[in-house]
Amino acid sequence: MPKPSSSPNTSQTTDITTLDAWKNLSAHAKKMHGKHLKTIFVKDNERFTRLSVRLPSILADFSKNRVTEETISLLTTLADARNLGAQISAMFSGAKINNTEDRAVLHTALRAPENARVTVDGQDVILDVHTALKRMEKCADDIRSGAWRGHTGKEITDIVNIGIGGSVMGPQLATQALAGYAHMRIRTHYISNVEASEMHRLLKDLSPDTTLFIIASKSFTTVETMQNATIARDKLVRHFGGDATAVSKHFVALAANTDAVKAFGIPSKNMFPLWGWVGGRYSVWSAIGLSTMISIGPKHFREFLAGAHEMDMHFKTAPLNKNIPALMGLIGLWYRNFLDFPAYTVVPYHSGLARLPAWLQQADMESNGKHITSEGTPVTVATGPCVFGEPGTDSQHTYFQWLHQGTDIVPVDFIAAIKTPYGNKQQQSMLLANCLAQSEALMNGQDNTQEPYRHFEGNRPSTTILLDELTPHNLGMLLAAYEHRVFVQGAIWGINSFDQFGVELGKALAKTIQTELTDKINGMHDASTSGLIHHITNTRG
Ligand code: F6P
């Protein structure tokens, strides 16, 4: 049994469906079922003003959601009944809210200023964070300036980050999003999958003399990462005629497992630390972000952290009904639990944010895909939704038909940057017009009784998030907002959003099956799995 939650939320032991706040929302949902957003807007000129939140460089418009101010008020009452405020404080202060793993959850400390104070088990976390940051900055500066040279004395031109899950999603997203800030000489690549063609294609084109491999793995035991890292290391050592000293010029480790890094052959001066209280999917702000820092430079990486910190402060201090991450979380919960929408989609109108949906899939679905509460009892309501997405306008030509006229209702998060250094004004206006047009069409629909296939019922909700520009600071704000969205829902459902035991069973079975495939052993499996194993071994010969 998991340890009881150390959060101060005593009401978490109560079945959420028995709370008055829950019952009131259920009753309210019945009233809301018949209401069309179009009509709500016609009756209320001030709706956009009241239901949007403007921070200095980001605007979140919640007004196209199927909520009224009464809905928001009932949702904040539920949040209060589940002690959301106390749970937020517990997370920020370093309480061990990841109770199954007995860990604090402190990605917020990774972006806190140097004069902040947070301790875990008597250790000054902020001091550790800033000491690591300064070491990362020295490394990034040396690589960027050319002071860091490869084994044959050449400057580094290519960074290859080998890692999977949280050890690739965040940095890959951030590096792509901030490609406009990239160092001219340095190209950054990401390898995650153990599927061989990805690695093969990349390594064939890169020169080992000028390549730096970053092995990003908190545990430093993840099989895909270790497999790919070993292939890269062996290839490099072979290239240098078996001289293993080359590893110290071409390999860096980002990990919490010092012994495993040492055993792999990476010297401790090339290792940048992580701590138990950094969850993999919340780790882009830590050493895991090194590839991004090298690409965009330490100054811009600091701006990225500062943006996230600004969102942290907003989340911590703004009233729930004017709080961007809280409203994202509460409205999402309303859809999941009271209007029975099983999914949401995030559509960034920016190619640089192409990896945002994948990053969010891990952040949300690995965090809140849970069926047991923090107290170890089955949950009584639906938890984390399915998350998916693709950039616009491309996605308008793929799955948007389904959003407009399909039989399921899927709320949308539209994200766009108003200003761009690229293209011309007309291109950018076209992009923004498409973004706004989609949310308008989803909401208002279009009547056509003559040609029912042209009828759009509308009433399909969305949130629009507008960044002034896609800068490091604003990207930090955006990602932190989504992290807190996930937290809000998990806290109210009373689940532990910070463990991921659901990924372990498949990993263990894969080990067994791998041995069987390699050694052609017959294991004990169901008829389907055995049949597939036989088919593979026979086909391979
Ligand atoms: O399999 C899931 C997971 O544990 C993620 O939570 C994590 O981000 C990923 O694997 C990679 O883990 P590591 O950084 O330890 O290699």
Answer whether residue 202 shows pLDDT above 80.
Answer: yes
Answer positive or negative: Cα dihedral of 165, 166, 171, 176: positive
- Region 291-320 average pLDDT: 98
Which segments within 263-358 are labelled E, that is strand?
Answer: 271-273, 343-348
Answer whether residue 4 shows pLDDT above 60.
Answer: no
Taking the C-alpha atoms of residue 478 and residue 465, their distance in angstroms, rounded to an integer, is 9
Q: Which atom of ligand 1 is nearest to the CA of 503?
A: 1
Residue 423 has what pLDDT?
A: 79
Which residues neighbour 217 within 8 Å (Cβ) at sequence distance 6 or greater? 163, 164, 167, 225, 226, 229, 253, 254, 255
Tens digit of each residue's pLDDT (9 = 90 or more) over 442-480: 999 999 999 999 999 999 999 999 999 999 999 999 999
Answer positive or negative: Cα dihedral of 92, 94, 99, 100: positive
Taking the C-alpha atoms of residue 353 and residue 37, their distance in angstroms, rounded to an integer, is 29
Q: Residue 449 — left, alpha, or beta (φ > 0 → left; ψ -120 to 50 → alpha)?
A: alpha
Would strands 58-61 and 123-124 be described as parallel, antiparallel, or unpaired? unpaired
Which residues neighbour 318 within 8 Å (Cβ) at sequence distance 6 or greater? 53, 324, 326
Least confident of 13-17, 272-276, 294-298: 13-17
Q: Which atom of ligand 1 is nearest to the CA of 163?
A: 16
Q: Is 224 in the pocket of ligand 1 (CB under 6 A)?
A: no
Residue 7 has what pLDDT?
A: 45
Residue 6 has what pLDDT?
A: 44
pLDDT interval class at 57 (50, 70, 90): very high
Q: Which CATH architecture has domain 16-81+318-493?
A: 3-Layer(aba) Sandwich (3.40)
Pocket-testing residue among 218, 284, 367, 499, ligand 1, by greatest number of atoms within 8 A of Cβ? 218
- Region 406-415 average pLDDT: 98
Ligand 1 center–CA 228 separation, angstroms: 15
Residue of the nearest CA to atom 1 in ligand 1? 503
Which residues neighbour 12 within 8 Å (Cβ) at sequence distance 6 or greater? 5, 82, 83, 373, 374, 375, 494
Q: Is 83 in the pocket of ligand 1 (CB under 6 A)?
A: no
One-letter identity of residue 379: V
Answer whether residue 3 shows pLDDT above 60.
Answer: no
Residue 522 has what pLDDT?
A: 86
Q: Is 361 in the pocket of ligand 1 (CB under 6 A)?
A: no
Ligand 1 center–CA 219 separation, angstroms: 8
Mean residue pLDDT of the chain comes to 96
Tens digit of each residue's pLDDT (9 = 90 or more) over 117-143: 999 999 999 999 999 999 999 999 999
Residue 438 has what pLDDT?
A: 98
The b-or-e profile of 321-348 (16+ CB within 10 A means b, else e) is bebbbbbbbbbbbbbbbbeebeebbbbb
pLDDT interval class at 11 (50, 70, 90): low
Answer whether residue 9 shows pLDDT above 90.
Answer: no
Tens digit of each residue's pLDDT (9 = 90 or more) over 356-382: 999 999 999 999 999 999 999 999 999
Which segments within 102-195 are labelled E, that is strand?
Answer: 119-120, 123-124, 158-162, 187-191
Helices 472-493 and 69-81: angle between axes, nearest 10 degrees: 70
Ligand 1 center–CA 104 separation, angstroms: 17
Residue of the nearest CA to atom 10 in ligand 1? 165
Residues annotated as part of the active site: 366, 397, 507
Enumerate the domain spans of the chain: 16-81+318-493, 115-299, 501-540
Q: What percent of the chain has pLDDT over 90?
A: 94
Domains 16-81+318-493 and 115-299 share a fold: yes
Q: What percent of the chain has pLDDT over 70?
A: 98
Tens digit of each residue's pLDDT (9 = 90 or more) over 179-193: 999 999 999 999 999
Taking the C-alpha atoms of residue 336 and residue 346, their distance in angstroms, rounded to an integer, is 15
* Model pTM above 0.95: yes
Q: Is 281 in the pocket of ligand 1 (CB under 6 A)?
A: yes
Q: Is 160 in the pocket of ligand 1 (CB under 6 A)?
A: no
Ligand 1 center–CA 487 separation, angstroms: 19
Q: Is 228 in the pocket of ligand 1 (CB under 6 A)?
A: no
Helix, strand, coil percent content, the chain, rounded in steps of 5? 55, 15, 35
User: If one looks up domain 115-299 in CATH, what number appears?
Assistant: 3.40.50.10490
Q: Is 225 in the pocket of ligand 1 (CB under 6 A)?
A: yes
pLDDT interval class at 10 (50, 70, 90): very low
